[in-house]
Structure 1
């Protein structure tokens, strides 16, 4: 099945940082005719890892549909700025930050970078907890994953 245009909302969270965490995405295609939601849990993680995991999980699903265009909506400046700006210098600097520290969550950034290279993605930042329905739904799914441990 092909879906030319896919819009995705993602979110991740953590109870404590580090602590038990959850990730989620809401995917819509064909002007809302196709929808998919998914979420997951990690027992000991960080908020940033869960934000990254949500996007990676969503893009792995998108890849199956061979889309012509994907819009990723994230409420994480860390994810948006990391993949659209910071990652270029991290790679040049051998996965080190401007302060020469190793990039945190490198394995997730490497996976996300590979997906970003393979897929036609537009990256958008959305304000969290601002009444955006699909972003609010992701937040709800993340909370459920953290509370239920699944």
Structure 2
């Protein structure tokens, strides 16, 4: 599955209701090393949590200029990056009311520090890493002391 020492990241996002309480999970793998990340938010959307999982994983890295592969069950993320939709959204300032511009802008800035390839995996299937990320995300969404997704709540004039 892994060649040499390439960073492999699995991410997933979940939302109980859309919008509703949500969470993300991420697993970072470098050789035999594993690191899990998760956080829950009081009000957000599934797509925002999918993106937050990727962003949190990238923000946790201490090295830049490395190649990494991100596995996600979010076609929204895979298509937005791999089909270069995001590049166009950035160029046009997210014209036409594209959602999640705050998170996409954050991702875009972070992504410039790495060589990232996205791969889609079928969710809720037989991939143990994707299933673990789903478990991390849903557990975080169901947790207490949920964080505030300031971007979502501000955009919807809730804070």
Fold shared by both chains (TM-score > 0.5): yes
**When you count helix as a share of all residues, which structure comes out higher?**
1
- Structure 2 spans left out of the alignment, 5+ residues: 147-159
Whether the aligned pair in 2 keeps the contact of 1:24 and 1:142 (CA below 8 Å) is yes
How many angstroms apart in 2 are the aligned matches of 1:93 and 1:69? 28
2:9 maps to: 8
Contact between 1:83 and 1:113, CA under 8 Å: does it hold in 2?
no
Cross-structure match for 1:92 = 91
Quote the offset at 1:68 in angstroms.
2.8
Deviation readout 1:59-106 (Å, 9 max, x if unpaired): 1123x134632110011011111122211221232212xxxx221110
C-alpha separation in 2, matches of 1:22 and 1:28: 20
Contact 1:49-1:105 at 8 Å conserved across structures: yes
- Structure 1: 5+ residue stretches without partners: none
Q: Please give the alpha-carbon distance, in whole angstroms, between the structure 1 residues aligned to 2:14 and 2:107.
A: 18
Segments of 4+ moved more than 3 angstroms: none
What corresponds to 2:27 in structure 1?
Answer: 26
Distance 1:67 1:35 in 2: 20
Residue 4 of structure 1 deviates from its aligned partner by 4.5
RMSD of equivalent CA atoms: 1.6
Normalised to the residue count of structure 2, the TM-score between the two structures is 0.83
Q: Distance in 1 between matches of 2:36 and 2:87?
A: 31
